[in-house]
Every structure is written in C-alpha cells, then in structure tokens.
Amino acid sequence: MEFAKLSLSEWIERCREFSAPYCLTDAKKFRLKDVDPGDTGELTSEDKPEAREALVAGVEILAELQERLYAQDRWAILLIFQAMDAAGKDGAIKHVMSGVNPQGCQVHSFKAPSAEDLDHDYLWRCLKVLPERGRIGIFNRSYYEEVLVVRVHKDLLKRQKLPPSLITKSIWDDRYEDIRNVERYLVRNGILIRKFFLHVSKKEQKRRFLERLDNPDKNWKFSAADVRERRYWDDYMHAYEEAIRATATKSAPWYVVPANHKWFTRLVVAAAIVEAVENLHLAYPTVSSEQKKELAAARAELMAEE
Ligand code: ATP
Ligand code: MG
C-alpha cells in the first residue's frame, strides 16, 4: 500500500475505492451477518503503520476541504455515528476530525432524552442543532436511537407521551419513512448527509469492556448499564439491520464499517468523508471585478498611512 505517498487527486480516487465496499445506497436485502466486523479489506495488520500515515494524510485533506466549505458558506455536512457501546465512535470522531478547525465543526452527543425532549416530537432535539451552512455537524448517536434502543426497549416508547392511538404496529415503518423524508428534505436544502454504523463483534466488545475494567485509566469509560445492554445484542442487531435496510438511500447512504480494528475503521470513515465532501467540488469564492477594485482601494489606503 502506498497510501501516504499519493498526490491529492490520487488520494481522493483511493478514498473512493476504499470506502465504496462499505457504502449502502439501497439496502433492501442487506444482511448484517454478511459484514465481518474483523474485515480489514485488502489490508493486513502489517499495513497498520502505513494506514496510520494515510489517516494523517486524510485528516489534512479534510481540513483543507473544510476551509473551503466554510469560505463558501453554501453546503453543510451532517455526519451521523451509530454503534454499540465500545465500538469506537468517540475515537473515530476524535481522530478523523482532529485536523479540522473547531470553529467549523459542531459535535452533539444524544443521550437518553430529557423531560423537555420528551415533551416534543422525537426529531426536535436533533433538528434544532443541525449544522449551519459552511459547517460540519457530527451527531454522536442521533434520531436513529428512536428506531434502535426504543425498538429494543419498548417501555421507552411508552414514556414518549405519544397519543396512544398513534402507537400502532406500523410505528417503526412510519418512523423509517419519516426519517427518509426528513433526510431527503435536508439534502435538498444543501445538507450533505453521511451515516456510519461502526460494526463491532460481540466478542470484541467483551474484550474492550474487560480492558476498561482492567485498566484503571479506562475505568471511567465503563458503565454497568453497558453490560446489561449486551444481553439484548441480537435484538440490537435486528434493529440495526432493519433501520439500515429502510433508510439507506442514494442521497443519505449508510456506511457499515467493520469496527474490530480501530485503525481500519478510522481510515474507512476518513476516506468516506473525504470522498463525499470532494464530490461537492468546493472552491473558494471568486472575487468579482467590483470587489477587486475595493481590495485595491483598501491596499492603497493602507499604503498611504504614515
Ligand atoms: P459513551 O458511553 O462513550 O460516553 P454513549 O453514546 O454510549 O457514549 P451513554 O451516556 O453511555 O453515551 O449512553 C447514552 C444512552 O442513551 C445510550 O444507551 C442510548 O441508547 C441512549 N439514548 C440515546 N438516545 C435515546 C433515545 N432517543 N431514547 C432513549 N435512549 C436513548
Ligand atoms: Mg455508553
């Protein structure tokens, strides 16, 4: 692999090839069990150092693209991250966005909804923090929890204060449809959407939990609730599969990213984002002849000072 030594355009082409196998734009027949969480594509653990270098290159490209995004102030980018606990959402977000100007990037983590959240429709808390034009918005969990954790634990649905007549058998299909429609609306408004499911295996999650228990510096990351959620693993996998099937679209694709190897996960995520943003063909705003005159006048004024 010669990833790190590539020119910009070669890198971008590589990003396209590299992320494409994990991208779903139409997933009606998608089966989660066909995706191996331990997959590292054409790479092996020997490629790890180079993969890390490639990630650094990707992060630099992303930083450059984000400058243009900000200057142009037309598009916004929404990146959604979903995963089981300890799949590496936080680390992926941290590494992939590490080069980006903090002013151009907004991260929101969605935990269990507050009383105020529950007094509104379920999209409310997410829609009010959508990224502004020129910004990258990251949702660490999202409204997808409404068809994941809420589907796995149906008592959560009861707490949502919905009129009982609206809680029907088709509620999940209704939600998928609403999510598809809202995402289409956002895309039509210039918000580019990319969704990532970091797919870790149950075995690897156990290993990471044990590591959190064994290592005092990682104890803070451990929550007993996470082990309880593990019991519902199969229900979660079913809910993820159904949600991905119903909401992977051409304009708002899902990436199902193997997540047992963090170095690989991060590279796929970075490549997918670079590829998507590059497709916008962002350029710095051009200066009109009128503006050029203004700039010349400003220069003359500065030069005329003592
Ligand atoms: P970390 O554990 O790394 O801090 P996290 O995203 O797992 O990150 P937690 O505070 O552990 O954060 O968990 C948030 C919990 O909130 C998750 O179990 C998630 O399923 C739950 N949650 C998120 N959105 C909703 C929702 N709309 N309804 C009910 N529960 C939700
Ligand atoms: Mg957690």
State how far the alpha carbon of 24 is from the alpha carbons of 19, 20, 167, 208, in Å.
10, 8, 30, 28
Per-residue confidence (pLDDT) for residue 1, from 0 to 100: 55
DSSP of 167-207, one letter per residue?
A: --TTHHHHHHHHHHHHHHHHHHTTEEEEEEEEE--HHHHHH
**Residue of minimum CA distance from atom 7 in ligand 1:** 85
* pLDDT-above-90 percentage for the chain: 89
Q: At 123, list the tokens.
A: 């999209």
**Are 108 and 129 contacting, i.e. CB atoms less than 8 angstroms apart?**
yes
- Determine the average pLDDT of the residues in 211-222: 91
Q: For residue 224, report the distance from its CA to the centre of ligand 1, in Å.
A: 13
* pLDDT category of residue 12 using cuts at 50, 70 and 90: confident
Best mutation site among 124, 145, 198 for ligand 1 pocket (most ligand atoms within 8 Å of CB): 145
**Rounded to the nearest whole angstrom, what is the distance from the C-alpha of residue 113 to the centroid of ligand 1?**
9
Q: How confident is the model at residue 306 (pLDDT cuts 50, 70, 90)?
A: confident
The pLDDT of residue 9: 83
pLDDT (tens digit, 9 = 90+) per residue, 259-284?
A: 999 999 999 999 999 999 999 999 99
Mean pLDDT of the chain: 95
Ligand 1 atom closest to the Cα of residue 142 is 24
pTM above 0.75, yes or no: yes
The listed range with the strongest mean pLDDT (6-10, 95-99, 126-130) is 126-130
Ligand 1 site residues, Cβ closer than 6 angstroms = 85, 90, 109-113, 140-141, 145-146, 149-150, 156, 223
Kind and range of the H or E run holding 209: helix 202-214
Task: Tell me the mean pLDDT in the region 210-231.
Answer: 92
The residue whose C-alpha atom lies closest to atom 15 belonging to ligand 1 is 111
Q: Which ligand is nearest to the CA of 90?
A: 1
| Distance separating alpha carbons of residues 1 and 27, to the nearest angstrom | 30
CA-proximal residue: ligand 1, atom 23 (nearest): 111
140 Cα to the center of ligand 1, angstroms: 9
* CA 100 to ligand 2 centroid distance, Å: 25
Specify the residue with its C-alpha closest to ligand 1, atom 9.
111
